[in-house]
Structure 1
Amino acid sequence: MIQTRLFTFSALLFCAVVTASALAQPITTGRSEGMAFQVEKVAEGFPVPWGMTFIDDDKLLITLRQGEAVLFNTRNGQKQNVSGLPEVYARGQGGLLDVQLSPDPQAAGWLYFTYSKPVGDSSVTTLARAQLSGQTLQNWQDLLVTRSQSDTSRHYGSRIAFDGRGHVFFSVGDRGHRPNGQDLSNHAAAIMRLNLDGSIPKDNPFRERSDASHEIWSYGHRNPQGLAFDRTTNRLWEIEHGPRGGDEINLIQPGKNYGWPVTSHGKEYWGPLDVGEAKEKTGIETPKKVYVPSIAPGSLLIYNGDAFPAWRGNLFSGALVLQHLNRIGLDAQGNPVQEERLLESMNERIRSLAQSREGWLYLGTDSGMIYRIRPQ
């Protein structure tokens, strides 16, 4: 009997090792800042995994742009569909967008989502939250259905970040209508700041203005698809799509104007003409970094893990058009001093990023793959 039990246990252990080995398929290796890493494919079959967040040490909640969400176990590869989602406008660039688990104790267990909510024949970027019970989302709450309706299905934004002090930020694109960039009366082309329950903080910069939306934290953004708050430095970072050329990394300050469409480093899609009045202008914030040609950013993450100590404090963004993982090193003042383009040989449109407890990076691609980067 003892021998049988030992055999059974050994067999189960062997199966677990084989499963874990089969799950993580080595793809390539590399070096960065003197650190050797390897890239592994851990899953496939996720149509446009737009957002990812760890809900515990082993489980990723992944949003799919088509309007579905999946729980993925990074240890054993199990996938479980999540129910309880609202109706989503999944057309063009719209769909189920970002997801982040709140790090704040006063909102423990709440998952925050952005999605394109159907409104009449159109849709608007919406911030919502819900709680996960098993595989079901419960207590769904739309916190802000933005005033960002347009006749297009593009430029929704939208990423989520927390400052750890009771506030949530999220971004909205210009919805394909350029004048929205300088129009404070709606929520398009802006970054919003709310309390965790969706109420408006008393110290928001436009709270006392009757001609402005009180939720706005900054404005003049074309299509911000990356947002990250660095709690070590208390800095809010944003990355956005420019037109043809002119993607921007911005250090976000309350109440500031980031220029679109008055200033831009990009050109018109229909010809070799500059967009806007100038590349820079007094009274408008200058980007910390500009990409010409565009990389088409799909996400933004501040690395703070232990697995790759030389990366701590670096910004990472997935690149959609130029198909790589973009790394930006910053100095103590928050100025970009280094750029590195990783994983170019993989030819993948990197859409979403997440960091695990171990400090490994997880990447979701438009081809439906989930990869991870870990020390070699």
Structure 2
Amino acid sequence: MRISHLCWRSWRRLALLAALASTLSLLRAAEPRDPAKLSAEFCVGCHGPNLVGGPAPNLLDDVWKTGSDDDSILRAIRDGNPQANMPPFAATLSEAEQRGMVAYLRRMGRQYALGLIPIVATPPASVTVTTQKHTFRLETVAAPLDTPWGIVFLPDGRMLVSDRVGQIRVIEKGEVKPEPIRGTPKPFVRQDGGYLDLIAHPEYARNGWLYLAYTETGGTRGGTMTVVVRGRIRDGAWVDQQDIFRAAPEFYPVNDFSHYGCRFLFDREQRLFFTIGDRGRALDAQDLRSPLGKIHRVMDDGRIPPDNPFAGRADALPSVWSYGHRHVQGLQYHPATGKLWATEHGPRGGDELNRIEPGRNYGWPTISRGLPQQREVIEGTERAGMESPLAWWTPSIAPAAIEFYAGDRFPRWKNSLLVASLVGRHLRRIETDGDTVTSQEVLFAEMGRVRDVVTGPDGLIYLALNNPGRIARLVPEP
């Protein structure tokens, strides 16, 4: 009896210890996460690495559009701000974590007010970088610019740059000319909107056509949308403008200023590709009647090529080349295989690298490697009839323009894919074997948001950098 009693007492003691351990484990699991880590995961992509401004405003200067008291900031975190494309975090952060974020922002704000947190570190005019296969000098070519988006090289040696604030700037012999091109269309400039990509016609030397994407106000309820036009420059002025693409009025989303696109590319037959994001209406990416969330292809004058995959169908927009995209920002042909590749922004993580085939469905918002951001309902990562990415990035790097390097100044990078990164603020080099990504390398980081990457006529690699805005290039070192 005594042994049995001792066993019972021991068993009860062990049970109590197990219950206590389980309770402690649950308490630890319920502990609020570190606000600094939450900030790095959810905030720096839009508000910058120091929270002092990126594509979204400074969080530390105590200037809030929705109110600067604690309750207003807490409400902004909990409920989001759809007009500013800020998602609600009520389902992502516990109430304690939301309040912890308010306290963290207050603490960082005090450091910012004392000058302990810099707004933007001024990058050096020239810096030497050693990578796996090349050493190069990253040097500034021309500055200042506001938010350079697209780079075009003209036959006479000048460079044109589309600046998101609504200007086409001229760079000549390393100098940004003081006057932008006159008479260009007036854009809607807010958040992602403004002047977007710029490209020259493959026969520009003969016809002088330039293609510009920008955002405008319009539609049936005063929404905003991406427009594609072409024009010529004569005596410093934009002339001969013609519409290439303008959406029907019902496709101008209201109170959403995100995911306008737009990246351009000409194919060998001089057809123009251009991209438009889902504009915050994720389900439209699966609707072939909507231009949103698509890659489009048109003739150089805007007519529909008869071999487009949906040409002639009553239930589809004839310009659509592929669909199910969230926000394509990079578009380029592989110089050896001739295949079309694209980069795309995911929701929270899940940024994608895809190879594009005509008529294919790339899955958004049904499948994604990222997490839902606002009203999306993601059902999984794969589904029959939908294309999966060749590579993806979580956490997000916000991939922008891409360029397959085909020049001769960096011979060991031949056919490497260069990926511009906005959130990661870096330039990434990718090696591939067919449709397989075999290796990745970050060439440099924290020199600004890399918006565009192109190979110049001299075989050097040119970059459009934001925050601060400038044009830079990579020059090989011995």
Same fold per superposition (TM over 0.5)? yes
Provide the secondary structure at the position in 2 that maps to 1:179. helix
Q: With a CA cutoff of 8 Å and minimum separation of 6, indicate the structure with the bigger relative contact order.
A: 1
Instruction: Return the offset for 1:117.
Output: 2.2
Instruction: Return the offset for 1:243.
Output: 0.6
Instruction: Return the offset for 1:223.
Output: 0.7
Change (3 A) 1:236 1:134: farther
1:54-97 Cα distance to aligned partner (Å, 9 max, x none): 11363211111111110112445545411121121111211110
TM-score calculated relative to the size of structure 1? 0.87
Greater Cα shift, 283-292 or 133-142: 133-142
Instruction: Return the offset for 1:366.
Output: 1.6
Instruction: Return the offset for 1:365.
Output: 1.6
After superposition, where does 1:90-101 map in structure 2 within 5 Å?
Answer: 90-101=189-200
The correspondence for 1:281, drawn from 367, 383, 386, is 383
For 2:395, the equivalent position in structure 1 comes to 293
After superposition, where does 1:149-168 map in structure 2 within 5 Å?
Answer: 149-151=252-254, 152-168=256-272
Q: Is there any run of 5+ residues in structure 1 with no aligned partner, and where? A: 1-24
For 1:358, the equivalent position in structure 2 comes to 458
1:81-119 Cα distance to aligned partner (Å, 9 max, x none): 111211211112111100011224797421111111221
After superposition, where does 1:78-227 map in structure 2 within 5 Å?
Answer: 78-104=177-203, 108-120=207-219, 121-147=222-248, 148-151=251-254, 152-227=256-331
Structure 1 Cα separation of the partners of residues 261 and 197 of structure 2 = 9
Change (3 A) 1:315 1:57: farther
Q: Which consecutive aligned stretches of 4+ in structure 1 deviate over 6 angstroms post-superposition?
A: none
Change (3 A) 1:44 1:262: same
Change (3 A) 1:275 1:28: farther
Structure 1 Cα separation of the partners of residues 405 and 331 of structure 2 = 13
Residues 202 and 270 in structure 2, CA contact (< 8 A), matched pair in contact too: no
Greater Cα shift, 360-369 or 27-36: 27-36
For 1:67, the equivalent position in structure 2 comes to 166
Residues 141 and 174 in structure 2, CA contact (< 8 A), matched pair in contact too: no
The correspondence for 1:341, drawn from 439, 442, 466, is 442
Q: Is there any run of 5+ residues in structure 2 with no aligned partner, and where? A: 1-123
Query: Which of the pair is proportionally richer in strand?
Result: 1
May I ask how many residue pairs the two structures share in their alignment? 348
Instruction: Return the offset for 1:154.
Output: 0.7
Instruction: Return the offset for 1:237.
Output: 1.2
Structure 2 Cα separation of the partners of residues 26 and 369 of structure 1 = 10
Provide the secondary structure at the position in 2 that maps to 1:365. strand
**Is 1:28–2:124 an aligned residue pair?**
no
Instruction: Return the offset for 1:312.
Output: 2.1
Structure 1 Cα separation of the partners of residues 321 and 201 of structure 2 = 19
1:243-263 Cα distance to aligned partner (Å, 9 max, x none): 110000111100000000000
Structure 2 Cα separation of the partners of residues 149 and 60 of structure 1 = 32
One-letter code aligned to 1:357: P
1:179-207 Cα distance to aligned partner (Å, 9 max, x none): 11101111000000001111000010001
One-letter code aligned to 2:454: A
For 1:370, the equivalent position in structure 2 comes to 471
Instruction: Return the offset for 1:231.
Output: 4.7
For 1:257, the equivalent position in structure 2 comes to 361
After superposition, where does 1:48-63 map in structure 2 within 5 Å?
Answer: 48-56=147-155, 58-63=157-162
Residues 169 and 176 in structure 2, CA contact (< 8 A), matched pair in contact too: no
Change (3 A) 1:107 1:287: farther
For 2:420, the equivalent position in structure 1 comes to 318
1:280-310 Cα distance to aligned partner (Å, 9 max, x none): 1111011111011110112122211111112
For 1:11, the equivalent position in structure 2 comes to none
1:313-341 Cα distance to aligned partner (Å, 9 max, x none): 2221211111100111122x232211111
Residues 57 and 356 in structure 1, CA contact (< 8 A), matched pair in contact too: no
Structure 2 Cα separation of the partners of residues 228 and 54 of structure 1 = 17
Q: Percent identity?
A: 36
For 2:17, the equivalent position in structure 1 comes to none
Structure 1 Cα separation of the partners of residues 140 and 233 of structure 2 = 27
What root-mean-square deviation, in Å, do the aligned CA atoms of Structure 1 and Structure 2 show? 2.0
Provide the secondary structure at the position in 2 that maps to 1:39. strand
Instruction: Return the offset for 1:230.
Output: 3.2
Instruction: Return the offset for 1:48.
Output: 0.7
1:188-235 Cα distance to aligned partner (Å, 9 max, x none): 000000011110000100012111000000000001111113354221
TM-score calculated relative to the size of structure 2? 0.69
Instruction: Return the offset for 1:275.
Output: 5.3
Structure 1 Cα separation of the partners of residues 205 and 310 of structure 2 = 25
Structure 2 Cα separation of the partners of residues 311 and 149 of structure 1 = 42
Structure 1 Cα separation of the partners of residues 180 and 471 of structure 2 = 16
